[in-house]
Amino acid sequence: MNRFRASLLLALLAATVLALPAHADDEPDLATRKRMWSIAERLDCPVCQGQSVRESNAQLAAQMREIILIKLQSGESETQIMDFFADRYGLAVLREPPREGLALGVWIGPVVILGLGILLLVWVFARGRQPGVAATDANLEAYERQVDDLRQAGRDSPPPA
């Protein structure tokens, strides 16, 4: 009986030792995990507001991280993985919208607005440096005539009683 136990223990130990290398191949290496975290950082969690898949503790985010690992281990590129999640959850899942189509406005819009703001400031400051309409003698003559007419009218009228 002791021999049977020893043989059984030795067989279990041998099976465990032989299974370790096979299981180690299933575990993603450090480079794959780094790529997974990089991709997860560029995806918004569909459940959490303002959190990336990397930051989120939601169950869906954990599942998304696992899917990323599986796809990386199967040889898919980062672009293919990002496209997969964009197709599944919409473009809102991408933290950085694509630079094409209507989404291009997200990239160009701020630059255009900044440029227009700078042009507006330059125009305001340039206009402020220009001398305003100076009071010329021609402009003052009309006012002086009106003042003289009023004075004359005051002299011609009888004094109040």
Same domain? For 24 and 85 the reply is yes
Same domain? For 110 and 86 the reply is no
pLDDT (tens digit, 9 = 90+) per residue, 68-111? 999 999 999 999 999 999 999 888 888 887 766 666 777 788 88
Which phi and psi angles does 140 have, rounded to 5°?
A: -75, -30
Count structural domains, the chain: 2
The C-alpha atoms of residue 73 and residue 63 are separated, in whole angstroms, by 15
Strands (E), 37-146: none
pLDDT (tens digit, 9 = 90+) per residue, 7-16? 655 565 666 6
Report the CATH number that the domain containing residue 24 is assigned in CATH. 1.10.8.640
The C-alpha atoms of residue 129 and residue 16 are separated, in whole angstroms, by 86
Residue 98 lies in a domain: no
The CA distances from residue 46 to 12, 56, 62, 77, in Å, are: 45, 10, 12, 22
DSSP 3-state percent helix, strand, coil across the chain (nearest 5): 70, 0, 25
pTM exceeds cut of 0.75: no
Q: Which range marks the domain in which residue 114 is found?
A: 105-156
